[in-house]
Amino acid sequence: MKSTLPLAALLAAAFTGPVASAAELSIPHEIYTLDNGLTVILAPDNDVPIVQVNVWYHVGSAEEVVGRTGFAHLFEHLMFQGSEHNNNDYFQPLQEVGGQVNGTTNLERTNYFEGVPSEYLPLALWAEADRMGYLLPALSQERLDNQKEVVRNERRQRYENRPYGTVWVTLLDNVFPESHPYNHSTIGEHADLEAATLDDVTAFFKTWYVPNNASIVICGDFDVAEAKQLVEFYFAPIPAGAEPTPAPIPSVKLTEEKVIRQTEVGAPFQKVWIAWPSPGVYAPGDAELDLLSTTLTDGQSSRLVSELVVKKQIATDVTAYQSSNDGASMFVIEATAAAGHTTDELVAEIDKILAVVKAKGPTVEEVEMGRTAYEVGFYQSLFTVAGKADRLNSYFVNKGRPDALAEDLQRYMDTTPESIRATAESTLGTGRVVLHIWPATEAK
């Protein structure tokens, strides 16, 4: 596709030089594997004197078992508490040299990353290697108890004691069946976290935090030969573990509508979430649903915003998004009722607009605008070494190779009004979850 807006073409040209087509888009890199199974991806970029170290472990809440939820996220915390040769706060030595350090956990993976001035690459690699290979000697009962309570407090603050905080927990629990790996959220349950023993978390670490279940990207201003020597020196001595087996992620199809109505103390407005199980990331239909969300709620002229917020003024806001995950996803529409109106009114109006989209599809202009917006965001995400490092690791973990940049963008460029219409028709049916939350002072 040739963009109709100059901005997208300018962004593409800035990233790839004279080549602006999705088919030729790439991040120059080298990939190899150490004898212990650690995948190493090197992507030099000498534009600015910083380097990003980005490590992904293929373990998320999907790998947790009944009665031991929250372990993947708990380990994100434990990995910052110190290791055998770096037995203090993990952040301090890296932040002292100007480093930016963090980590995240989701349903499928846990990642850790630090951006440091180029000359401190050895420090960043040493710190990551030490906690990969030597975390357990420094893991004490005191540290475990401390972080268990930190995570439980996080659950209280971010989920239980804030308006609408448990929405995602409820949606996962109802969109995905009890046997599905996505049935529970990453935060875990209080009872499971409280019951976790040192033996439990040690076994979890030995299973999943092994080099043959990890990939490391080094992206930015560095010398390739020197980086290879450093990786060999710090990571090669770490022994491989038994080959882990990530949980298979089956697709999901709901056969009927589940309506959940609840009141919540502290909730200021009536809100509703409508969630459908949807195709996994990179599966047919995933890109179409991303672009459908722009047709529905991106800007004042989008279909749901224009009708519900601008014209009829029955909602104060409405948004739609495809929450993509490996194997199975959720397409979600959420809206807030305006004063004097109810969430039931919103659902009825949303359904009317979806019926039109499923029957006639979006217009050519809507699809072109959505594709252009996505294309601009896509290139913008590659303007930092941190963004490029994370893309490389994401593609490797989810697609088995880090060079899927062109293929990823092309699937959006290949969407059509008909492909979006057909995906909406097949995905956004009566099998869904509708969650209404009202202020506790109002009747349901």
The answer on pLDDT for 16 being more than 50 is: no
The answer on pLDDT for 263 being more than 70 is: yes
CA quadruple 421, 424, 429, 435: dihedral, nearest 10: -140
Q: Are 421 and 411 in contact (CB under 8 A)?
A: no
Determine the average pLDDT of the residues in 432-441.
Answer: 96
Question: What gap in Å lies between CA 32 and CA 228, rounded to an integer?
Answer: 10
Query: Residue 125: which residues within 8 A CB-CB, separation 6 or more?
Result: 53, 218, 230, 231, 234, 235
The answer on pLDDT for 54 being more than 80 is: yes
Task: Tell me the average pLDDT of the chain.
Answer: 93
What percent of the chain clears pLDDT 70, i.e. is strictly above it?
94
The answer on pLDDT for 356 being more than 70 is: yes
Q: What is the pLDDT of residues 181-221, one digit of tens each?
A: 999 999 999 999 999 999 999 999 999 999 999 999 999 99
Q: What is the pLDDT of residues 210-254, one digit of tens each?
A: 999 999 999 999 999 999 999 999 999 999 999 999 889 999 999
Residue 394 is inside which H or E element, if any?
helix 385-399
Determine the average pLDDT of the residues in 416-420.
Answer: 98
Determine the average pLDDT of the residues in 309-321.
Answer: 98
Band (24; pLDDT cuts 50, 70, 90):
confident
Domains and CATH numbers, the chain: 28-235 (3.30.830.10), 258-439 (3.30.830.10)
For residue 215, which of 401, 370, 67 has the smallest C-alpha distance?
Answer: 401
Tell me if the pTM is above 0.75: yes
CA torsion through residues 174, 176, 180, 184, sign: negative
Predicted local distance difference test score (pLDDT) of residue 132: 98
Pick from 9-13, 87-91, 429-433, 438-442: least confident: 9-13
